[in-house]
Amino acid sequence: MLLSSLFFFIFTPQFSSAQSTISSGQNGSWSLESTWQPDSIPNENDNVIIDHEITIQAGTTVEVNDLVIDQKGVLTVEGTLILTGNLTMVNNDPEFITGSEAKIIIHGNANISNKVNINLSSYFIVQGNFTIDGGGAADINITNASIYVFGTFDGGSTSLGICSNYDNNTDNYSTETCHVGTEEAFNTNEENGLIPVDIVDLVLDCNASATISGAATSVCEGDDVVFTLTGTDGATVTYSFDGGSTTNDIVLTGGEVTITVSGATSDVTLTLVSINDGDCSIDISDSKTVQVNRFSLIVSDVLSGISGSHCPEFLPPFNASGGAAYNPGCTEVQFKVLKDLSTTSAFTFDFAIDESGDVEVYDLVSVVAEDNSTINYSGDDAGGSIDAGLHTEVTFTFHIKNVPGSQLDVQFSVSNGNDGECNETAGTTDNSATHVIDEMPVVGDFN
């Protein structure tokens, strides 16, 4: 519908800050340098005067400080226009036209004087005051627009009405009494989901952000999965795991924080849901999945090189029937050391594991006897001393992590064995034994 009121006013542009000023030089697209004097596309630090026919095209976002549409100026907005300062329209027929998908966000004031034409059919939000003033004619054509004024609204001699129960749409001026919503109405409609999230973000000028900046692509079963988040310092990030409805919050202290899943046994997906910096809260969407690989039991060749009839000897890794297919990167290797059954004396020996090639780390998971009881040892993952007592078998289980797709070289040895019949003294090498799992096949080649 069309509104008119007569008034006359003489205006000289007054900008809200001492920033640089760029004026239109000819009709054209906002995004072309040739449109402006000097030849420079205005940015967020500039004040702008329009006295030609200028178009902000769909899909384009423009942000400047103050904007004056002067005299014969015509601004058509099909995209997004953000003013950190004020909008002023004065002097003999300036026009402001918005397309149905346009977004106009004015963080300052909007002042309309003299004969102007405004056609609104989209979001038009003024966070300061909106004043229609002076003499002449102010023609405002409204069709399916969403208009909000957070400050004081003065419609002058027009019949535009403002209310706090605005339904987020102004369609028929003649039959409606509420054409403009207050800040309270905006907040209520936002909470009720009537206002798109991107509009809320623009209004709140919400620059809070968070991303998943670091995490391994895969780990071995039982390892910790560690995600690193980076973003706005002090903001609170809401996140969830594995697509679940349960969410958790974490604060980006110093702009970076880690989220750890301890002892993961299956794939882990972290999804960021939203972020709140204290001034605004927005939905975000970032997700990363870490694959958790199970350890696969492998079988090696029969050990050779044992000397001494009663000294500790090896069997190949056992219990291979339940092993999974070879999984590069996460390998379980088992070694069994046997005591000569002809003696009933205590069973002691030293062990060591070494690696070469692309092995990254190895963990001694367990040391058990033939009855699955745990055998204590002195030492660390790389080696130590075993006192097996009267047990006849000692089984070592190692988890070995190698570069995925690489070959695997692992050496396990025993020495200084004593079962009552064979006593290998320290430094003796004749009765030590070594087994090497050499050049294991890469993925796809293991049978």
Spell out, as residue ranges, where the chain has pLDDT lower than 70.
1-19, 91-92, 114-119, 134-139, 173-174, 206, 279-281, 297-328, 340-343, 355-361, 403-412, 417, 419-447
Q: What is the Cα–Cα distance from 447 to 441, expressed in whole angstroms?
A: 9
Which one of 1.10.15, 2.60.120, 2.60.40, 1.10.10 gives the CATH number of domain 296-437? 2.60.40
* pLDDT tens digit sequence for 333-365: 777 777 766 667 777 877 777 766 666 667 888
Nearest to 84 by CA among 53, 118, 48: 48
Query: What CATH class does 210-293 carry?
Result: mainly beta
**Contact (CB, 8 A) for 419 and 311:** yes
> What is the model's pLDDT at position 139?
63
Angle (nearest 5°) at CA 12 between 134 and 54: 90
> What is the model's pLDDT at position 310?
40
Structure tokens at 370: 């033939």
Q: DSSP alpha helices (H): ranges in 94-247? A: 183-191, 197-204
> What is the model's pLDDT at position 116?
52
Predicted TM-score (pTM) of this structure: 0.51
Give yes or no on whether 210-293 and 296-437 have one common fold: yes
Domains of the chain by residue range: 2-199, 210-293, 296-437
* pLDDT tens digit sequence for 382-441: 888 888 888 878 888 888 777 665 655 666 677 776 766 555 443 333 333 343 443 333
> Which are the contacts of 42, defined by CB distance < 8 A and separation ≥ 6?
22, 30, 36, 48, 62, 64
* pLDDT tens digit sequence for 302-343: 333 233 334 444 333 333 233 333 455 777 777 777 776 666
Catalogue the long-range contacts made by 152-160 (C-beta closer than 8 Å, 24 or more residues apart): 153/129, 153/180, 154/129, 154/130, 156/5, 156/7, 156/131, 156/132, 157/5, 157/6, 157/7, 157/132, 158/3, 158/5, 158/132, 159/3, 160/3, 160/132
Pairing relationship of beta strands 138-142 and 116-120 according to DSSP bridges: parallel
